[in-house]
Every structure is written in C-alpha cells, then in structure tokens.
Structure 1
C-alpha cells in the first residue's frame, strides 16, 4: 500500500474501485472496506465504483458498495469514456482538490490503539464444526469454499477492530503421510510471513470419539510439541454455553480434563449463534499466545520440528542397531561357550566311539 501511494505523491485525489459484480462477494466488500479505511475515515468521499462486467443485474453487495461511495459509479462498457473523466473531475472538485494520505491506523477513536492482525488455524475432525465456527468468528453467512474438503481454505475479515485470517485445516486422521505433511505445511504457509498466532481445536461438547482421538494424535505427531504452546480448545454449542450441564461435563469427563491439561487449560465454550461472544474468544486467543520471543508458529518452526523428529528417529535407529549388535555378540559368545564346554566334548567323544 505504501509503495502504491508513493507513486502518486503527495496522495491520490480519487480512488477507482474496479468491481466485477458476478464475482463480488460480501467478503470482498468487507476486505475492500478495510483497505480503504487505511486512507482514513473519509476515503469513500474520494471513491467511485467502476463496473468491469458486461452482464447487468442487481447485486446487493455491489449496490451497497455504490451507496458507500455516495452513489458514484461508472460502467466500463459505456461508449463515451469522457463521462468517466467528468465524474473523476467532479470528485476532485467536491473535495476541493484535496488528496488522501496513507495511515496504518484504521477507522477507530483516536484514544484506541489499532490491534495487530491475527492468523488463526481451525483444526479438528470431520464434522467438528470448523466452518460453522469460522462463520461465527468472521460474522459471515457465506464463506469461500474449495473443490474438495481435503484442502486448506483461508478466510479473512475484520473482527472487533482487527484483521483476522482464518485457515481451515482439513481433517488429517486416516490420510497418507505425504498428504498430511503437504496440507499441514500449506496451512502454515497461508499465514506467512507472520505465522500462526493460535491453533483453535474445534470440538462439539460431548465425549471424545475415536476419530477425535486419532485427529489429536495426528496433529501432535505432525506439528510436534511446540504446537501445544499455541493451541486452545473451542467447544461449540448452539444454546447457552453457561448451562450447568456444559460445565459439569467439562469438569467430569476424564478425557476432556486430560486434554485441557495438555493445552494449559486454554478453552472457550462458544454459542455459534451468539455474536456477543466473539470478543471473549479473541481475548482468549491473546492469552494463548506465548509471552516470549517466538510468539507465532511459523514455517521455520514446522521445519525445525520435522528435523528434530528425524534426529530422534535416527537416534532411536542407532540405539536399536547397537542393541541388535550386542544381542548378536552375546548369542555368538553363548554358542562358542557351548561348543567348548566339557559336556559338549564328552558328547563328541561318545559319538566317535
């Protein structure tokens, strides 16, 4: 952004928002709105929508964006492009020739500091509710999907005054090792360069299934012990999360208690239909992040974990080889002693006579 603005110093007089209505989603509109906020709270006064699609029709997301821009728009397929220049000049005139400047602070009260962005990975077994959790966190009813549920997918949006990236990690349990490693590395790569600030393990409130346990073991084996420092558990419900039955279950189920202990007791029970709980969830995420230099799980962390596993496997193999060698030596010595024993020699003499 800074580089772009530097090419039109001292700053842009007009922002042209090129939009293809057939592909423009509500998520795109929110992303665009966030980017414009970097120019300050008056950015829309300097903006105009430019439609780049021949197809006509009503698109609510585009219409909302046009309203945000004060009704200003232009269709690229109009024959007279002088109209575009006239509309641009009108924007400049309305703003008395002033220009926009780039700021790293978004639209917030001056007393409130902008919070840093968050990169989160949602993990869990198939059917655990990762997509529902992503919709609840981002406040979106529709999310970008991929062609297959076995691929990572990244969602983004502004949540509680900060930019949040959510990566859905597909279920890993039962997959070939190559596929597990590929998707695991890809999910970390989608959070480059900052890395993953927190892994959110999504579980419905209920006893752990064999698939849950298999998924947990696969995640632990793949990302290794460092992942524990960045993980919290998100229990999802569709009713009151403070209901006594929920608390009684979490306190009474042995598997759940052991699981919570392994992740430092970091968890939230979220009613996915209650938007008021999202700030509580983000606060919990902040508490998970280690208060040390390594405040995120990066591709470098992942690589180091794999190298450490190889080293440990190599040490284990060396130990086994050493033990096997000792065993062979003992067996050989035992055989030699047996051949040299008096009983063995007398037996041989007896046979000769």
Structure 2
C-alpha cells in the first residue's frame, strides 16, 4: 500500500473501542457527513465507508465487550484486521471526551500483546467529543500519546476527520512503510510465540527454583530435625552413659557349694538396708545351674550381682555358653570378680580355680578380683586374718595374685547381726578396686560387645516368657 498523499487511496482503519464510543462516532459521522457516510456489516464486523473532500475512508469495527477474555478480544481484533485487504493505514483508538478508562487501557495492552509493539507506531488516539470533555488528560493517556508520537485528535465535525487523515498521512510518511501489514502481524505472532516459549521457560525455571527452594527448605527442616534427633539421642545416650557410669557389675565365681548364691542374697539384703535379726538363713541356698542377675542400689550406685555355676567341668573343659551368659548379664562390666571360697575348705579344685579363670577371662583377671570367704559355721571364732595367715601356701598364693584383697561374710543365721558391717566393708573394697581402674569395666576380648548385647536381649526375653508361663500356671 503506497501513500504519496491521503487522496491517492482509501484509508483502511481498525477502530478499537467499546460499543458506546463507536455509537457516538457513528452519530457524529452521520451528522457531519450526511449522504457521504455508508454503514454495512461483514460477519461480526461493522464497516463505515465515507468520502471527505475527495478523501476515501473505511473504518472497520468489531464489538469489544469489557468482560471478554484476552484471547477472545485478540481474535476479534485479528478478525477485524483481516477484513481489511492488504493491511491497514492505522489503528484508531476511540475515547470519549478525553477520558481514558481502564477498559481502554486493557484494550491497548491486548493490542500490543497480539499485534506487537509495532502496532503502536500505527496508532492514533481519537477523542470523540459529543458531550462533556475533561479539563485535563490523565497521566496514563499522556504516556500513550507520547508513545504514539503525539498522535491525538479531537473529533467534533468534518474538520476533525481531515486532521485525522493528515495525521495518518504524516505517520505513514514518517514510518516509511505502507501501514500495518499482514507480514507485521505474522512477525508479531512469531515473536509472541517465542516470548510465550520464553515465558514458559521462565515460568518453568521459576517453578523449578520454587521447588528447589521448597526441597531445600524441606531438607533444611529435615536436617534441623535430624540435628534435634541426634541431640535428643545424645542426651539419651548421655543419660544412658550416666546410668552406665553409675553402674557397678560384680560377678561371683567359685566351685559348687562354695556359698556364691548365699553370699549374693546376703549382699543384696544388706545393700538394700534390709536388716533383721530374725531374717532368713542363707545356709540352705540351692545349687546354681545357670547364670542369674540381681540388682540393688547401694551408696547411690546401681549394684549388679551375677551369680554363676561352675564355668568348667571335672576335666577342666570350659562351658563357653555359660561364660557368654555371665558376661552378657554383667554388661558393660564386669568391674569386679568375687572369688568365693568356703572357710575351712580348700581342695585341689580351689587351688586350680585361678588358672581356669585366667584361661577363661584373660591373664589380667586377677587384677580385678577379690577373694570372698563365706563362713557357714557359727561356732568357729577364728578371725579371717588368722585363717589366711595359717592357710595352705596355695591359698596364700591365690590371695597374693589377687592383690591380697580378701573379705569375709558370715551367712549363718546365728551370726546374722554381724553381716551388715561385713557387707559394708566388702562393698567399700569393691568400690575402691573399681575406682583404681578408673571405673572402666574389664574387657574380655574373646567376645564382641554386639554379640553379648544380643545374648543379653535373648536371655531377657526368655526370662519374661518363663515368668508369663509361671503366672498362667499359678492362675490355673
């Protein structure tokens, strides 16, 4: 479309407005142009053809409702544009009385989005003034006029149309093109598609960034929860460690009939401050066939006593399973071993006992051992020190290897009152020996801690099961 002057060719314009502004413009055109103004319709588009002083004008309008979606309004504008063959001279925005409404602003945004920024180079703002006119143009309208290089016309009569045509002619001359063409629309659509793809990519990246931030926040939350959990575990472990540090495990060892069980029961009673002259005798305690654990609190410490049967047979063969049971019950110890000997009895079996125990528990066993003499005979008045000084050399050697640590317990009923100070002295000696090793338990490296812990768990479950069966049998 070549434009040497406005009179050379029909000026095709797409009118952008609401139906109210379009109706006002039609009324003014009919009043000012009379028979020179002809209206027709092509589909949904309305067309106004007229001639003004040998200038031919064709205005194309489509009804744009304020509640239309952006897509619907874009399609309506494109349909109106396509009704103009070979492109258009300009887009014509109608406003009323110099008032630039929100609806018209939205139309401009959609025009630019669909037809591209190039459309604003071919835009003229036409103020239809058939009534009230604003005194001052608002800033948004002034900004639009500025973008349009000042193309703003006021229309009240035919003179306004002539000014519009001159402005369009000047605009085309300045742009050096034939108006807004289909090629421009295609290019705008292509850019819009690219922009949409770019926007989609941006949105995708934004979403990914948001998801990443969400995951990071979630991860940070999990890390904080993990730190809190670890702190809680540490506190719990510290509590367990404190409990373990306050725990004193003692294993009673000796031959059958030496008085291990009697001594253990008496220690538990006296450690728990159970004192009675008429208390039960411990003389008739039955023979121990398995390892058993009992506990009491003594002097603010948790005292664990483990009773054991003989840990080897007549041929000196070690009972490995009993050894494991013994150590499992004494976890994390043992801290101290009590070698229980009956006063007045020292056979070859007792003489060989230390050798057996060192093979089972290690060469350092004796460094953690205390000899405990159990007295069943209440008639004998001999002091324990005198008994040791006059004992067989093998017994004296055993005591010497155990650091010369020995104590006495009288478990006979008639001497019950004497047992309280004896137990007190014994516990004091046990505490001193444990303290001399820094409170650390004796480590038997033959078995792992994990193995012993698992064994302890199994033994505890077995014990609970036995108690439940006994309870049911008792109910029957």
TM-score by length of 1: 0.54
Spell out, residue by residue over 1:140-178, the C-alpha distance to the aligned partner (whole angstroms, 9 max, x if none).
476434499xx2122334333243222123225322445
- SS of the residue aligned with 2:19? coil
Name the structure 1 match of 2:17: 124
Shift of 1:121: 1.7
Spell out, residue by residue over 1:232-272, the C-alpha distance to the aligned partner (whole angstroms, 9 max, x if none).
11112248xxxxx96x824x53343233223221111121x
Match of 1:304 among 152, 171, 187: 187
Distance 1:113-1:172 versus aligned 2 partners, 3 A rule: closer
Is 1:191 aligned to 2:84, yes or no?
Answer: yes
- SS of the residue aligned with 2:57? strand
Structure 1: distance between partners of 2:118 and 2:233: 64
Distance 1:221-1:342 versus aligned 2 partners, 3 A rule: closer
Match of 2:139 among 254, 257, 262: 254
Structure 2: distance between partners of 1:133 and 1:307: 39
Spell out, residue by residue over 1:74-116, the C-alpha distance to the aligned partner (whole angstroms, 9 max, x if none).
xxxxxxxxxxxxxxxxxxxxxxxxxxxxxxxxxxxxxx99623
Matches within 5 A, 1:214-229: 214-229=106-121
Match of 2:168 among 265, 279, 285: 285
With CA pairs under 8 Å and 6+ residues apart, which has the higher RCO, 1 or 2?
A: 1
Structure of larger gyration radius: 2
Shift of 1:201: 1.3
Is 1:313 aligned to 2:196, yes or no?
Answer: yes
Distance 1:140-1:122 versus aligned 2 partners, 3 A rule: farther
Structure 2: distance between partners of 1:191 and 1:176: 24
TM-score by length of 2: 0.42
Unaligned runs of 5+ in 1: 1-111, 240-244
The root-mean-square deviation of aligned C-alpha atoms, in Å, is 3.5
Match of 2:223 among 313, 326, 339: 339
Structure 2: distance between partners of 1:141 and 1:163: 10
- SS of the residue aligned with 2:208? helix
Shift of 1:304: 2.3
Is 1:213 aligned to 2:105, yes or no?
Answer: yes
Unaligned runs of 5+ in 2: 241-476
Shift of 1:331: 4.4
